[in-house]
Structure 1
Amino acid sequence: MGIHTVSTCNLRPKDRMCTCYGIDSINSILQSFMHRVVFLFLDSIVTLNPQGIDSILQIACFEQVRAANTIVTLPTGKGKTLIAVLAIDHFRAQVPDKWVVFIVPTRTLVSQMAEYCEQHCKERPEAAQLCGLWMDSWDDMRWRECLRKHRVLVGTPEVFRVALGKGYLAPDKVSLLVFDECHNATGNSPMAAIMKDSIHGATVQPRILGLTASFVHGKLKRKRDAETAKFLLEELLLANICCPTVPEEPSTGPGRQWLSIPYPKEQLEEEFGQTLEELVTNLTQGCDPQGHLKELHKVMGRLKHVFGQLGRDGFVYCVQKSVVHHLEHQAIQLAALSATRGRGELLQAQLPALRARLRSCAQQLITDARLLSAPRRSQKAETLLNLISQKLAGRKGIVFVTQVLLTCPLADSINKQVHAEGMRAEGIYSGMAKADQDAAMKGFREGRTHVLVATDVLLEGVDVPDCEWIVRFNDFHTTKSHVQGSGRARSENAEVYYLQCLSS
């Protein structure tokens, strides 16, 4: 297995996108406020960071927030959440009768950020965790009860878009509005809608704090794309970007490494295209002869991609288990909304029959003559499994994939490969029930799970301590994906691997 170091001249500028627009004022703040701020926030430093590491940098950034709306851009793991905590403490003390709103992009982050605030804010507030489809049923009475009990509100963007839009929460009653991963505030996103529809026109506006590792949300093709992204984000959040230059920390090891792992080219999806088309069509029609289950047809259409990426074993696993699991989550989501309740209930009613049918079909696929010539595992999957068993065994890490249906079959393959080493892998993806996501993350943090196979649910902000390596199973196409994906590996000497297909 060949491993090639990726040229840092290609990757590090992306990883350090946050330092492209450094401002001189942050350095002057570090000097002019150093003595006053250290004494002013001594209790916070002791509580939040007993070692004092990076505290001055965070406090200097906080001074910017205290003075004006600010977008703080710092690399992953450099204390952006600590800045938010300092701001929360300040504005709660200044205007105790108002609320602090902390907006995070995913349900997984809601519980993480709420717990962080409860543990590290001075007064240990009980933060409300607001996310999930059950929030759609909240009326004015439920919101008033929540606001009576909690002064710190942590939730997903859509929850607060609705609350502000319906008047359950008023802008002039909010002292601080924090947007975590604020690069998501683009276009018609809920984050952007909150600013455009509720904040821009408000007579009394809250202080705005944006947090991000890279203010570029999409692809970065030209330098002016970064300039445009910076301008648009500042204009939307009514804030200025603060990008302090973070000094290099001394390393006791080789430091972070970016490594390319080549694998032989193959075209399984194309080679078995006609056979896969027939199999998937027959499976779909057998499970839904009337064609009423749109969700089933959509999921089944992705099976060919799974075959191409993972091989025969992954394809069969998906048919046997993943399709139904995915549909179960979709049915719950559809049934929870009044507009789609009928579709959700129809899908839920069909699930037992679908499960039995797909399990039976999976058993037949194992011996189907049309697939026996296909490899059980793709070259790409074999390369990943060899990398984990030969080089990464016993160390905690994350494999990032682009599609939900790849997570669990790939985790199953890893489990079969490294079971003897005592390692365990688990899939985690967006759309997964929050309780299942939390359980998977808890297992990883506590060491019961060593490998997470994840979609972008883990890209943004989720704290995964002790993560020593990252593998990019699929290509990434945006600066944000690179910065945030590699940032999940928090170890000082972390390794970030990219699987690269050989051209011939």
Structure 2
Amino acid sequence: MKILDFTPREYQNAIFETVKGHNTLVVLPTGIGKTAIAILLSENRLNLYPESKILICSPTKPLCAQHVKSFTKFTDVDKEDIVIYTGAIPPKKRADLWNNGKIIIATPQTIESDLINNRISLESTSLLVIDEAHRSRMKYANTLVAKNYNENAKNKRILALTASPGSTKERIDEIRDNLFLDRVEIRAETDKDVSPYVQEKEIEWVHVNLPSEFDRIKNLIKQLRDDKINELKRIIPQKKFFNKKDLLNLQFSFRKSITKGNKMAFWGISLTAQLLKLSYALELVETQGIRQLIQYWNKLEADTSKAAKIIINDSRIKQAIQLSSDFQENKHPKMLKLKEIVLNELNKNNESRVIIFANFRNTINEIYKELNDHLIKPVILVGQKEGLTQKEQIKRIKEFGEGIYNVLIGTSISEEGLDIPTANLAIFYEPVPSEIRMIQRGGRVGRTIKGKIIFLITKKTRDEAYYWSSKSKEKTMKRTLYNIKNKVNIQSRIGEFNNDN
């Protein structure tokens, strides 16, 4: 294998010197060449072991297709030897593709299934690349594939790639342990060997006020929620505040207590369920819109659980439901601001490509309806679970890049790894509290041209809290990674020195 039309950058060469001798977690900002390191290492391994295979695991078919494109463009490997390997291909044909392929680019779930059913063996695979390695927690397919590879491959080397492994040392260590990684390489956009290749990204925060009609509904829900929190405090008096994570952990604890005969645990489970449902309703009215809230009220009314019935039968919620019906034509101010921003952008530059991220599918549908006019050509990008095949996902991404569509509206499927070089504006309909998702979203713009990111934030709501939470976690993640890198690499050098003596 030889590399074509590609000269490695200084930081890529420096990282390559590490990865060729060690199983390594590589953390790089999106759009500055993680795939290039995989190509460099693939060349190295195939030259060392000419009869071996390379396996690249990537979580979705669109991402697999991008890797096929990169290896076809930048290497001299025959097209027939670069194989895309997903669950869409029948098992018998997959076995043939595996036997005949040189570079296998696969979804990890498909590899896991074929390993369990003994259709393939990783014995002759000299390199395992795990793309989007933050998806490598316990019982994930990546983890099981890495375990099999570590146990069976004759000539082992593992390369894990991500822009965002997580903010805590425990989360990062879990990925390292699960993927058998002994080194860490990290670069930030501000590092001197990386910064020349990073496109400038302008960040803008657009704040809106929650209208009084929304506030009336919110306050009714909040009154019931506060009552339920006080009830929960009578069971757990030492707790003063309960966030979503606390409530989920409490539910788990209460369920365990039931088996020990704790009668209060049944009420505890119902209370935590009520609080989770009320918290969700508050999130919808604060950050999404009244129509989305009405859909949730309808769902609760059809819910036969005790928690749902208690909520629906409360007089304050009955009043909130009536107000929701009265104000259902009132759009969330973020929706109005979103259309204004998109129209201004396209009027200013009709070649612009805009990506809009939203958490909720029904909000995406509302955004599509709001934006679908003569100047704006929107398209929705969602996952297979939401009804869009991976073939159609690839088609829509391609057509967005070509300008058939100029606005891409997506859920989490549009956050990870997608190479959309022409996208110059990303709009976050709501911030997300996850540093991983925030980094992934931001990486969709400013890859080859100057980009801009706009956050739509409703004042005095969880929009503000989620934004600052994710920024804090991102800072912690970078600090933790540099600390781990320095510690791990020093320990490795001490080990090498001791072995030499």
TM above 0.5 = yes
User: Cα gap change, 1:304/1:129 in structure 2, threshold over 3 Å: closer, same or farther?
Assistant: farther
Counterparts of 1:460 and 1:488 in 2: how far apart (Å)?
Answer: 8
1:261 paired with 2:202, answer: no
Counterparts of 2:177 and 2:187 in 1: how far apart (Å)?
Answer: 20
Counterparts of 1:128 and 1:306 in 2: how far apart (Å)?
Answer: 44
Counterparts of 2:357 and 2:214 in 1: how far apart (Å)?
Answer: 21
Query: Counterpart of 1:413?
Result: 370
Alignment of 1:303-318 (within 5 A): 311=289
Alignment of 1:385-396 (within 5 A): 385-391=339-345, 393=347, 394=350, 395-396=352-353
Unaligned runs of 5+ residues in structure 1 are: 1-40, 275-301, 324-367
Query: Counterpart of 2:104?
Result: 153
Alignment of 1:469-488 (within 5 A): 469-488=425-444
Amino acid at match of 1:241: V
1:194 paired with 2:145, answer: yes
Counterparts of 1:203 and 1:464 in 2: how far apart (Å)?
Answer: 35
Counterparts of 1:269 and 1:106 in 2: how far apart (Å)?
Answer: 40
Identity over the aligned pairs, expressed in percent? 19
Query: Counterpart of 1:426?
Result: 379
Deviation at 1:188, TM superposition (A): 1.8
Deviation at 1:309, TM superposition (A): 5.7
SS at match of 1:474: coil
Counterparts of 1:205 and 1:414 in 2: how far apart (Å)?
Answer: 53
Counterparts of 2:367 and 2:161 in 1: how far apart (Å)?
Answer: 33
Counterparts of 1:370 and 1:463 in 2: how far apart (Å)?
Answer: 40
SS at match of 1:464: coil
Query: Counterpart of 1:271?
Result: 217
Deviation at 1:410, TM superposition (A): 1.1
Aligned residue-pair number: 366
- Does the 8 Å CA contact 1:107/1:156 hold for their aligned counterparts? yes
- Does the 8 Å CA contact 1:103/1:180 hold for their aligned counterparts? yes
Alignment of 1:213-362 (within 5 A): 213-216=163-166, 220=167, 225=168, 227-239=169-181, 240-244=183-187, 246-247=191-192, 249=195, 255-266=200-211, 268=214, 271=217, 311=289
* Corresponding residue to 2:454 among 497, 500, 503: 497
- Does the 8 Å CA contact 1:251/1:492 hold for their aligned counterparts? no
- Does the 8 Å CA contact 2:58/2:106 hold for their aligned counterparts? yes
Query: Counterpart of 2:132?
Result: 181
Deviation at 1:387, TM superposition (A): 1.4
Alignment of 1:55-74 (within 5 A): 55-74=9-28
User: Structure 1 stretch 233-242 or stretch 265-274: which is displaced more?
Assistant: 265-274
Deviation at 1:89, TM superposition (A): 2.2
Unaligned runs of 5+ residues in structure 2 are: 221-279, 300-321, 462-501
Deviation at 1:491, TM superposition (A): 4.8
SS at match of 2:331: coil
1:466 paired with 2:422, answer: yes
TM-score (norm 1): 0.65
Alignment of 1:427-466 (within 5 A): 427-431=380-384, 432-466=388-422
Query: Counterpart of 2:475?
Result: none
Counterparts of 2:172 and 2:136 in 1: how far apart (Å)?
Answer: 12
1:397 paired with 2:340, answer: no
- Does the 8 Å CA contact 2:217/2:323 hold for their aligned counterparts? no
- Does the 8 Å CA contact 1:48/1:82 hold for their aligned counterparts? no
User: Cα gap change, 1:305/1:230 in structure 2, threshold over 3 Å: closer, same or farther?
Assistant: closer
- Does the 8 Å CA contact 1:260/1:497 hold for their aligned counterparts? yes
User: Structure 1 stretch 115-124 or stretch 459-468: which is displaced more?
Assistant: 115-124
SS at match of 2:419: coil
Query: Counterpart of 1:162?
Result: 113
User: Structure 1 stretch 439-448 or stretch 84-93: which is displaced more?
Assistant: 84-93
Counterparts of 2:178 and 2:25 in 1: how far apart (Å)?
Answer: 11
SS at match of 2:206: strand
Query: Counterpart of 1:378?
Result: 332
Counterparts of 1:98 and 1:480 in 2: how far apart (Å)?
Answer: 34
SS at match of 2:203: strand
User: Cα gap change, 1:305/1:482 in structure 2, threshold over 3 Å: closer, same or farther?
Assistant: closer
SS at match of 2:329: coil
Query: Counterpart of 2:262?
Result: none
SS at match of 2:372: helix
User: Cα gap change, 1:238/1:370 in structure 2, threshold over 3 Å: closer, same or farther?
Assistant: closer
SS at match of 1:67: coil
- 1:352-400 per-residue CA deviation (whole Å, 9 max, x = no partner) reads xxxxxxxxxxxxxxxx998464335221211111111124543212111
User: Cα gap change, 1:464/1:252 in structure 2, threshold over 3 Å: closer, same or farther?
Assistant: closer
Amino acid at match of 1:398: I
Counterparts of 1:430 and 1:269 in 2: how far apart (Å)?
Answer: 33
User: Cα gap change, 1:204/1:251 in structure 2, threshold over 3 Å: closer, same or farther?
Assistant: closer
